[in-house]
Amino acid sequence: MGYLFRNLSLLEPEVGVLQPGLELRVEADKIVEVGKSLAPGSADVVDCGGRVVMPGLIDSHVHVMLSEVNIRSLESVPLTLGTARAAKNMRGMIDRGFTTVRDTGGADWGLKQAVDEGSIPGPRLFIAGQAIGPTGGHSDPRRRTDIFGAKCHCCNAMAFSMNVSDGEREVRKAAREQMRQGADQVKIMMSGGVASPYDPLDSLQFSDAEIAAAVEEAHAFGRYVCAHAYTPKAITRAAHAGVRTIEHGNLIDAASAKLMAEKGMFLIANLVAYYAMKERAAEFGMNADMLEKNDLVIDGALRSLEICHQAGVPVAYGSDLLGQLQVDQSREFLLRREVLSNLDIIRSATTIGAQVTRTEGKLGTLKPGAFADLLVLDSNPLDDLAVFQDQGAHMAAIMKGGKFHTCRLG
């Protein structure tokens, strides 16, 4: 079965301007033809009513399994409940037009397969499995009264999402295990974090040998390493070690950004997480120490976008929202307007997202041969990014892989 989309203006992010008068044909799960006055053949004709058609959105930093703002609360969430909540989170994401997401700690091959086979509605998943960090680091949410004991990786949603490994041998084994379990990227922690209780933001996590072990194993398996890092020192260490993407990077400076550009790295920024936590995280159990760390990074968030733009570092769209805050996913578009053009922001959620996931020509584009992941929008996002707000209310249709997720067109 196929579809022929007519009466539309095409927004191909690489082109950067609306192209009226074009039509688009979908067969099976791919876009097969883009042109003028296409013959419908056996395809169903979809009249877009003069609306804008663009590629589906890509969020390059999510956590579908982290259903609590206070991560420690996940200790009491069994995997069955965690999976049910993840299904709800993913449904919300595709409802907002995110047809692809890159999960950086928590989602596993089972969730990915459930989406691929249609058991759960949701976006395409690129998974990291468990996020790997050292004792006392960002992946270690234990209380100070907790003592070392047998590691449990399966009994609750928190343990399922995080891995504590120390020493080159343990890190190497943990990286191999994530890839055995189908990871598309290996996630490591290289600095302190907001949502972890005891590590300072400027702490440096993992030794050079541990980082090198993760990178070597990822490259050997045809994957890559993404690193949680805030400070210039952590970013610089990651760049020299062969890490491909920096997650967050709020405190980046010109020198570390220049190094990232030279190494061909990507930054995945996620401003909305910090704004949402500042406004509402306390009511969901995030404590004062964590919120104090949040205040330290929120001021650098917009500045990091400017620094990377000047250095030529590609910046992807990320949200990194936890638990009940995930409804704010599309607000990231509005926050970035302070320093970037609408087109640059759209490209961060399409073109650059495809580069990060290594799916150029397949995702983030409407070129023939790409997956038929597309949105039909009520208005032009180049003029107003508000079209992405209100939980998908301004999207007349959302298609993923040639199948309509939602459609209110004739």
Q: Which residues span the domain enclosing 215?
A: 57-356
Query: Do 332 and 240 reside in the same domain of the chain?
Result: yes
Q: What residue type is assigned to position 220 of the chain?
A: A
Q: Check which CATH number belongs to the domain holding 349 and give it.
A: 3.20.20.140
d(CA 188, CA 163): 9
Query: Do 167 and 245 reside in the same domain of the chain?
Result: yes
Query: Do 141 and 28 reside in the same domain of the chain?
Result: no
d(CA 46, CA 43): 9
Query: Measuring CA to CA, how many Å separate 241 from each of 114, 205, 237, 372?
Result: 35, 13, 6, 37
Last residue of a domain, one of 336, 356, 376: 356
Query: Do 31 and 127 reside in the same domain of the chain?
Result: no
Query: Do 327 and 246 reside in the same domain of the chain?
Result: yes
Query: Do 109 and 132 reside in the same domain of the chain?
Result: yes
pLDDT of residue 201: 82
d(CA 169, CA 290): 31
Query: Do 271 and 369 reside in the same domain of the chain?
Result: no
Query: Do 387 and 325 reside in the same domain of the chain?
Result: no
CB under 8 A, 24+ apart: contacts of 307-310: 307/252, 307/253, 307/254, 307/257, 308/249, 308/252, 308/257, 308/260, 308/267, 308/269, 309/339, 309/340, 309/344, 310/254, 310/257
Are residues 21 and 31 in contact, defined by beta-carbon separation less than 8 angstroms? no
Query: Do 101 and 227 reside in the same domain of the chain?
Result: yes
Q: Check which CATH number belongs to the domain holding 50 and give it.
A: 2.30.40.10
pLDDT of residue 410: 72
Total number of domains constituting the chain:
2
Query: Do 246 and 371 reside in the same domain of the chain?
Result: no
Give, for all 410 residues of the chain, the pLDDT tens digit: 799 999 999 999 999 999 999 999 999 999 999 999 999 989 999 999 999 999 999 999 999 999 988 887 888 899 999 999 999 999 999 999 999 999 999 999 999 999 999 999 999 999 999 999 999 888 777 666 666 544 454 567 777 888 999 999 999 999 999 999 999 999 999 998 887 777 888 899 999 999 999 999 999 999 999 999 999 999 999 999 999 999 999 999 999 999 999 999 999 999 999 999 999 989 988 888 888 888 888 888 999 999 999 999 999 999 999 999 999 999 999 999 999 999 999 999 999 999 999 999 999 999 999 999 999 999 999 999 999 999 999 999 999 999 999 999 97
pLDDT of residue 32: 98
pTM: 0.96
Query: Do 42 and 21 reside in the same domain of the chain?
Result: yes
pLDDT of residue 148: 56
pLDDT of residue 198: 78
pLDDT of residue 144: 67
Cα dihedral angle (177, 180, 186, 191), rounded to 10 degrees?
-10
pLDDT of residue 287: 83
d(CA 389, CA 335): 12
Query: Do 43 and 61 reside in the same domain of the chain?
Result: no
